[in-house]
Every structure is written in structure tokens, then in C-alpha cells.
Amino acid sequence: MHNLAILYPIFALVLWTCVVLLQIPIARFRSAARRETGPGDYRYGESAAVPPYVSLPNRNYMNLLEIPVLFYVGCLLIYVTAIPSPAMLALAWAYVLARVVHSLIHLSYNNVMHRLAAFALSNLLLIALWVLAAVQVFSAAPAAA
């Protein structure tokens, strides 16, 4: 029987990613309304004229699409192999929390050292999740003949 609980952190991180995604047009429209940027500033990504407060949500969104792919795959692997443990669930939720904290730091006061700490913690949690998943998969695998 598959344990759906391992999917809940996936939905939470996807929801958070969508919240950050919504910040991009809000910042861009605000910038355009203030006449700080125009459509040409986004033709090839973001020009040097784009203020940092406009670039930050986009950069944070891209960051939420990079390493978290390994989180999504790991959780789906755990789900498909029907091996979630309480430790794996705790690691998955801790990972989501660390990513949200990272985003909140990045999108607010943006202290690089605080952001680095949240980012590093999230990566350590992800590695631990994968190690636990690998141990469970390999210990459950039938011996090769």
C-alpha cells in the first residue's frame, strides 16, 4: 500500500513555488507603473535597468525550480516504492520549511549569510532524504541470482 503522506510536502512546495511565481508579475507591473522599466527590459531576460526588487522574485522562482527537482523525484521514488518512514516524512517537511525560509529571507531582507544557512540546511536535508531512500530501496531489493 502506498502512503500518500509523502506526497503532501510535494504539494506544499509546489504551492509555495506558485506563490513566489505570482510575485514576478506584481513586481514587474509595479516597476512599469513607476516607469522604472518597460517591455524592452525583458526581451532577453532582464536588462541591467531592471531594479533588484524586480529581479529577486524571478531569481527566487528559478531557484525553486532547480535543486527541488531532486526533492520531487526523491519523494516520488519513496511513494512508488511504498517505503516512506516517519523519518523520511520529517525530512521532507523539514526540506519544504527550509526552502520557504530561504525564499522569505531572499525576498525580504536578503541577508546572504542567513540565506546561505537556509540553503545549506535544505541541501543537507535533501541529501539525508535520498540516503534514507537509497538504504530502504537497496535493503528491500531481492538478492541477484
Amino acid occupying residue 121: L
Domain harbouring 23, CATH code: 1.20.120.550
DSSP string, 80-107: HTT---HHHHHHHHHHHHHHHHHHHHHH
pTM as predicted: 0.91
Work out how many domains the chain is built from and give that number: 1
At 70-122, the pLDDT tens digits run: 999 999 999 998 888 999 999 999 999 999 999 999 999 999 999 999 999 99
- Domain assignment present for residue 58? The answer is yes
- Domain assignment present for residue 118? The answer is yes
- Domain assignment present for residue 145? The answer is no
Cα 135 from chain centroid (whole Å): 24
- Domain, as residue range, for 106: 4-140
65: helix, strand or coil: coil
